[in-house]
Amino acid sequence: MIDVQNAKSQCTISDLKVRLIEVNTSNCELTLDLSWTQEINNGNKYAYLHLWTQSGYHTPAVNWVNMYSNPNAFPKAADLVNAIATIVINNNSADNPLVGSVYHPDPLYILPQLTGLTAVKVHLNPTLERMTIKNIKLTLPSCTGAQTILFDAWASQAANGKNVHCATQGANLIINEVKPGGLLSCLLPRQFQVILQNTGPVLDNIWYDVHLDYPPIGIINTDDTVVYTSGLISLSANGNYISPVTDYLPYSNRIPSANLPLIVELTIPNRPNTTTALIENGCGPLPVNLVLFTATAGKNKIMLRWQTSTEHNNRGFEIERQYLDGDFKTIAFVPSKSISGNSGQYLDYLYDDYEYLSGKGNLFYRIKQIDLDGNYTYSETRLVRSETAMSGVLVYPNPSTGSTRIILPEGTGLVDIILSDLSGKEIFRRNNVTDLLQLDKLVSGMYLIRVFVKTTGEVQVKKLIVL
């Protein structure tokens, strides 16, 4: 990937993901969602994506000499005659950007493949956001086998949308190589099965992750917990892989996670993007639909709040608490507010834990919902952190091309960081890191990063891919 920027700002995208929705074999039209991570820039008013097949990229070539090299060097209609799609994003810096219908640099240019596009933005942290363009339709030379798509992305801060502020040239995607999919069983605990269809030659050392899919549906974001990671898989030429039926406890029998769809994310070594697929959850909701559960520290107490939208045969809720290294213990029972255990209305519950003492470190809480017949399900666990506890560690960029940064949240304290390969072999260690660690000269492959917080004993594990 090449980044072209002026002296004022960068225009960098990373972590490309493609959700392949449909392949129409009669006309070779692919429907997909394209997602990427970008740095937040509140000055960018417009963003543009131009997509080509590999053979058509930057043709006619004479038109593309010094393109994007100055604010007035932007593509016009004559330069985009071989583009298979051009996408305009209006209000690019807003929380709810819109897909535009006019190419502002050259309004006479007719945008190809425009119908039905939407843009969705998710904030990852104060400096990064994830942008997704949904329902992109591309007509390709072939309906079968891997297809390479090249694209440029550039942004303008000008009110007329013309001046080039920054640009990325030659970003590439490989699509339709392996089609992931899956099924979800409605029995408790929920179980899934992943299906991979190879459309080309033998592939070795591929793997997939399965994520819970919190809204926005179909888009991987920071809330989408990884519930399963496969081992390395070899996929025969034009062959299929069908995984064992797999549960994903503790998420698969508790609310709300058992009611969520799943996303399978496929990684193929040395590819610029991952490929995702949505595993729909067509199961009916569990007997009690818990739509809210929070645990927050107040003055001399921990305040637990939860809400149900429906209840069926519900006796009530046991409150369970756990210190960092202990077992969960029941500390209270709260009976259902519904009549005879059944309700179709929102019901609010609360419990204050006055036994909380400062200095205990991290506390974990969960709710055990019990039916009238004795069956039960667990809520997700909520953590009340001590002042020194660690929140999310950021690894960026990821995937990288050899260099990446490990960024610690403010107030984390001293941590030890270990980089290892998939076999667990230690490659690098740095002790007593306080805020940021730069890693350079990494060779291609997949790594695990373990971050140990000395003051709490908390551990976070991150996966790093080097292209």
| pLDDT tens track, the chain, 467 positions | 334 333 335 578 889 999 989 888 889 898 999 999 998 888 889 999 999 999 999 999 999 999 999 999 999 999 999 999 999 999 988 999 999 999 999 999 998 866 789 999 998 888 899 999 999 999 888 888 899 999 999 999 999 999 999 999 999 999 989 999 999 998 878 999 999 999 989 999 999 999 999 989 999 988 899 999 999 999 999 999 999 999 998 888 776 788 899 999 999 999 999 999 999 998 876 667 788 898 887 777 888 999 987 788 899 999 999 876 678 899 999 999 998 888 878 899 999 988 755 545 678 889 999 998 888 888 888 877 654 444 568 888 888 888 999 988 766 778 889 998 887 788 888 988 888 899 998 998 888 898 887 755 667 788 898 88
Where b means 16+ CB within 10 Å and e means fewer, 259-289 reads: bbbbbbbbbbeebbbbbbbbbebeeeebbbb
Cβ contacts of 375 within 8 Å, gap of 6 or more: none
pTM above 0.75, yes or no: no
Q: Tell me what pLDDT residue 456 has.
A: 55
Q: Tell me what pLDDT residue 410 has.
A: 67
> And the tokens for 123?
């904030």
* Upstream peptide bond of 201 is cis (omega within 30 degrees of 0): no
Cβ contacts of 151 within 8 Å, gap of 6 or more: 49, 50, 51, 52, 171, 172, 173
Q: Tell me what pLDDT residue 366 has.
A: 92
DSSP reduced 3-state for 1: coil
Q: How far apart are CA 290 and CA 379, in angstroms?
A: 8
Cβ contacts of 355 within 8 Å, gap of 6 or more: 331
Show the beta-strand stretches assigned E in 158-256. Answer: 166-175, 178-185, 191-198, 203-212, 226-229, 233-235, 240-242, 246-247
Domains annotated for the chain, with CATH where assigned, are 2-175 (2.60.40), 178-279 (2.60.40.10), 289-384 (2.60.40.10), 394-466 (2.60.40.10)
Q: Tell me what pLDDT residue 272 has.
A: 94
Q: Tell me what pLDDT residue 391 has.
A: 53
Q: Tell me what pLDDT residue 3 has.
A: 41
Q: How far apart are CA 419 and CA 346, in angstroms?
A: 47
Q: How far apart are CA 198 and CA 275, in angstroms?
A: 12
Q: Tell me what pLDDT residue 357 has.
A: 55
Q: Tell me what pLDDT residue 285 has.
A: 65
Q: Tell me what pLDDT residue 387 has.
A: 47
Q: Tell me what pLDDT residue 385 has.
A: 65
